[in-house]
Amino acid sequence: MAEPYEIPREQLFDPRQLTDPYPVIAERRAKCPVAHQSTPVEAYFAYDYMDVKALLADRSGSRDPRSAKSDGVSRLQASELGDTSRSMLFLDPPDHTRLRGLVSRAFTPKAVAAMAGPIQMRTDALLDAVAEQPRFELVEALAGPLPTMVIAEMLGVDPDDHTRFKRWSDAMVRLLDMGASEEEKLAGSQAREEFGDYLIEQVAARRQKPREDLMTALIRAADGEDRLSDEEIVATCRLLLAAGNITTTHLIGNAVHTLLSHPAELQKLLDEPSLIENVIEEVLRYEPPVLFTSRNTTTEVEVGGCPIGRGETVIASLAGANRDPAEHPDADRFDVSRDDPHHLSFGGGLHFCLGAHLARLEGRIAIGSLFGRFPDLRLDPELPPVRALQFGFRGFAAMALRRGAA
Ligand code: HEM
């Protein structure tokens, strides 16, 4: 049996993990595909593709924070997100099976495909607004508002409420950030409460007068006598907003930044717009918006040849898996014509991202339309892009762009 690499104390807060985690992952992988830290929270880390895939597929792995030791990472994250007893992301079977089963009825591929028109319309309107500007900021103009608008539209939020909706969504995202200040956490918790009250009102209104939207579909979702309770509907709407927004914003930001930093790859897309599907998959592989997910062990397991006891939190490094040289030749190279740019960016197993189809659709429309309209886009040399420093996520808080030749 192998021994996990024990992460030295001084490396725990290596700032490169926020700015460029890949060299840190490569250094650790070279020592052992599994690492361990005992402080500030105890956790194991798995970096290799096959190990991460097996870990996520293993049905004995738990997402329930109560299954971890008291200082487990998932307990920390779950307590920040709230709703742990009603959110599918923090439930195990049979509760997870029931809730996900009911929710996915309202989240069918057909429902997602029907969003293509509205997503294109929103994207066009957002791009129209900057079409005359020689320089604009990507996150403000497109990557930030688009996913919020899409989820608001799916849920059926009234257009008048969109500004409030965006504010709540931005504040709640900070709850996921381990580096958030006390003030930001307070604002996030307040937004969570306000959003909850708003949703309760909205659900009640739809019980009286059903509409053609996701919230009504969640109310209607039923398996025999089994239905979602109001609390479950509210928790699900909150989860969809929390899980779907910043992730998709980061997908769009990462795609633009990676393409602009690799002009030959961007040229391939400009020459051949039908490459867009592969481009989005390669961006998801090369720069995943969510760097890791986790599972708690409920029995003794072996990961990467290392024994791990019961009740431990194992962090599945999605970023590590996607750049595993044993899985992808030349894994650190961004190549939009890669034959099979498969990745684990949407997790796996029972908790595989419910919004993966929607995120891919948004990514393809946003990136295809942006470069279709502005093929001469470039990073503003005077204003370097600003990274969003959220632990566990990777993307941009701001990215200044210019049009026209340098
Ligand atoms: C590029 C964008 C996105 C990325 C990278 C992403 C990534 C992920 C990851 C890594 C997980 C955890 C999977 C696991 O632990 O195995 C997850 C779960 C989830 N995601 Fe996404 N996501 C994205 C967009 C979305 C969108 C747009 C929605 C919905 C509107 C969404 C809804 C969910 C839900 C409901 C879960 C929980 C599923 C469960 O526990 O069964 N995600 N996502």
Higher pLDDT: 138 or 238? It is 138
The per-residue pLDDT for 406 is: 75
Q: Whose CA is nearest to atom 14 of ligand 1?
A: 347
- Domain containing 289 — which CATH number? 1.10.630.10
Comparing 160 with 375, the larger pLDDT belongs to: 375
Determine which residue's CA is closest to atom 3 belonging to ligand 1.
247
With a 6 A CB cut-off, is 355 part of the ligand 1 pocket? yes
Q: What is the residue-averaged pLDDT of the chain?
A: 90
In this structure, which residue's CA is closest to atom 11 in ligand 1? Answer: 353
Using alpha carbons, select from 321, 362, 357 the residue that is nearest to residue 342. Answer: 321
Query: What spacing in Å lies between the alpha carbon of 351 and ligand 1's midpoint?
Result: 8
Please indicate whether residue 345, judged by its CB atom, sits closer than 6 Å to ligand 1.
yes
119 compared with 39, residue with greater pLDDT = 119
Distance from C-alpha of 290 to C-alpha of 13, rounded to nearest angstrom = 19
Write down the pTM of the prediction: 0.95
The answer for residues whose C-beta is within 8 angstroms of residue 62's C-beta and 6 or more apart is 68, 92, 295, 296, 297, 298
> Does residue 89 line the site of ligand 1, with CB under 6 A?
yes
Q: How far apart are CA 98 and CA 47, in angstroms?
A: 31
Residues 6 or more apart whose CB falls under 8 angstroms from that of 46 comprise 33, 34, 52, 55, 303, 304, 314, 315, 316, 317, 320
The 3-state DSSP class for residue 137 equals strand
How many other β-carbons are positioned within 10 Å of the β-carbon of residue 163?
A: 9
**Token couple for 287:** 């720069």
Secondary structure element (H or E) that encloses residue 281, with its range: helix 276-286
Decide if pLDDT at 255 tops 70. yes
Query: Measured from the CB, is residue 396 less than 6 Å from ligand 1?
Result: no
Question: What total of structural domains would you count in the chain?
Answer: 1
Ligand 1 pocket member 253 (CB < 6 A): no
Which range of residues forms the domain containing residue 123? Answer: 5-403
pLDDT reported for residue 235: 87
> Over the range 95-118, which residues count as b (16 or more CB within 10 Å of their CB) and which as e?
ebebbbebbeebbeeebbeebeee
pLDDT band at residue 8 using 50, 70 and 90 as cut-offs:
confident
Given the DSSP bridges, would you call strands 5-6 and 34-37 parallel, antiparallel or unpaired?
Answer: parallel
Residue 66 has pLDDT above 90, yes or no: no
Encode pLDDT of 187-234 as tens digits: 988 998 999 999 999 999 999 999 988 899 889 887 778 888 888 898
Residue nearest to atom 39 of ligand 1 (CA): 351
Query: How many A from CA of 243 to the centre of ligand 1?
Result: 6
Range with the poorest average pLDDT among 86-90, 302-306, 372-376: 86-90
Nearest ligand 1 atom to alpha carbon 250: 1
* Ligand 1 and 77: CB distance under 6 A: no
CB 369: neighbour CB atoms within 10 A? 18
Query: 49: which 2 tokens?
Result: 């593709």
CA 24 to chain centre: 21
Report residue 238's pLDDT band, with 50, 70 and 90 as the boundaries.
confident
Q: What pLDDT sits at residue 396?
A: 94
Which atom of ligand 1 is nearest the CA belonging to 348? 16
- Closest residue to atom 17 of ligand 1, CA basis: 353
* 404 CA to centre of ligand 1 in angstroms: 36
Alpha carbons 136 and 32: distance in angstroms, whole number: 44
Mean pLDDT of 146-172: 87
Q: Which of 37-46, 226-235, 257-266 has the highest mean predicted lDDT (pLDDT)?
A: 257-266
CB of 314 within 8 A of CB of 17? Answer: no
Residue 106 has pLDDT above 80, yes or no: no
- Mutating to test ligand 1, I would choose from 103, 353, 360 the residue with most ligand atoms within 8 A of its C-beta, which is 353
